[in-house]
Amino acid sequence: MQYWLMKSELDVYNLDHLKADGTEPWDGIRNYEARNMMRDQMKPGDLILYYHSNCKPPHIAGVARVASDPYPDPTQFDSSNHYFDPKSDPNNPRWILVDISYVTTFKETIDRNVLQEDPLLQEMVIFKRNRLSITPVTQQEFERVCEIAGED
């Protein structure tokens, strides 16, 4: 099993939305590095720290799970969609996604500054590659975040 941190803007699609929906495609990723992680590394059952960005303070709200194998992101072919990509070929899709499903909401969110101040979390990729919407997380980092959140 692998572990990930996935960012979503709080006002666009937050963890409460995922809880209500149950499972949702993680669409709209238009960064090759993030796409490659979904395409080449993510597997059903992998666990995700769900991170709310574009808010003050940014924070981890809970846990989700990878719920599907990777498949082409249909928004790339929809000309009415914000994520439409006219250069993407249906026979060789450029953009890939995975479905994610809700697991749990932490009793209290864990602010970014709390993560940065924890000696066991200071090397998290999110602090080195802040612009990426998906970053790998070590098992030790995942377990430490859950420990801070009071989750087993």
Total domains in the chain come to 1
Residue 152 has pLDDT above 80, yes or no: no
Q: How confident is the model at residue 53 (pLDDT cuts 50, 70, 90)?
A: very high
Burial 121-136 (b: 16+ CB within 10 A, else e): beebbbeeeeebbbbb
Residue pLDDT, tens place only, 84-118: 999 999 999 999 999 999 999 999 999 999 999 99
Residue 143 tokens read as 């377990």
- State the CATH number of the domain containing residue 43: 3.10.590.10
pLDDT for res 130:
76
Four-CA torsion 95, 5, 54, 129, nearest 10 degrees: -80
Q: Residue 15's domain spans which residues?
A: 3-149
Residue 122 tokens read as 């200071």
Q: Report the DSSP beta bridge partners of residue 65.
A: 47, 101
Report how far residue 105's alpha carbon sits from residue 15's, in angstroms, rounded to the nearest whole number.
7
pLDDT for res 101:
99
Q: How confident is the model at residue 129 (pLDDT cuts 50, 70, 90)?
A: confident
Ranges 28-32, 116-120, 127-131, 140-144: which has the least confidence: 127-131
- 91 CB-contact burial (10 Å; exposed 0-12 / middle 13-18 / buried 19+): exposed
Residue pLDDT, tens place only, 61-79: 999 999 999 999 999 999 9
